[in-house]
Structure formats: structure tokens, C-alpha cells
Amino acid sequence: MRENLPTSPVTLDEYDAMDRAGKLAVWLEISDITEADFDAHMGREMAREASVPKVGSLAPDFVADVLGPNRQRTGEQIRLSDLRGKPAGIIFGSYT
């Protein structure tokens, strides 16, 4: 367990329920981000959100690297559309 980690002034549920002004206040309180940086970040997030598939929609086709048991790339790739009709679990994350 890590000790001496800073704690958030709000829970994730509280943050999700906040309006933009509330989120701005939290960001400015806990980081060295400026209001202009926050505005730019939120602008990028809103633009990105417009292209995110909605829940229940078909996933866009993509190619992914296959990882081995040691979480290293195997050199093999797989295309989502090749799995159509087959059960598939997709884990997104960073293993770097």
C-alpha cells in the first residue's frame, strides 16, 4: 500500500455529477493547471466525445496487437471484424 498519497477532495461520483464550473474549481485546487489549460483540455474532450461510439452501437473495426503471457507483443495482430459471431473479450489498458 502506498502511503502519503494526496487524496482527492471529491469522489468520482461527485466529480461526474459536477457541472463545468465545479470541475474547473477542483482542477484548479488540485493541480498546477491554468484556467486556459483547463478550457483547452475540455475543448479537446468534447470534440473527442462527439466521435465516441454510443453504448449499444456496433464497435468500429480495428486491428490490435496480440500480447503473450508476459504481456509482450507476439508480432501477431487480429482484426475485430475477423471475430464476428465469436465471443470476444477486449481489454483496453496500458501495459507500458
Residue at 95 is within a domain: no
Residue at 5 is within a domain: no
Query: Where in the sequence is the domain holding 26, given as residue range(s)?
Result: 12-49
pTM: 0.44
pLDDT 10s digit of each residue in the chain, 96 long?
Answer: 556 666 788 998 999 999 989 988 988 888 888 899 988 988 998 899 888 888 888 888 999 898 899 889 999 999 999 999 999 887 777 655
Residue at 16 is within a domain: yes
> What pLDDT, in 10s, does the model give residues 41-67?
889 988 998 888 888 888 889 998 988
Q: 18-53 as b/e, with b when 16 or more CB fall inside 10 Å?
A: eeeeeebeebeeeeeeeeeebeeeeeeeeeeeeeee
Residue at 35 is within a domain: yes
Count of domains in the chain? 1
Residue at 73 is within a domain: no
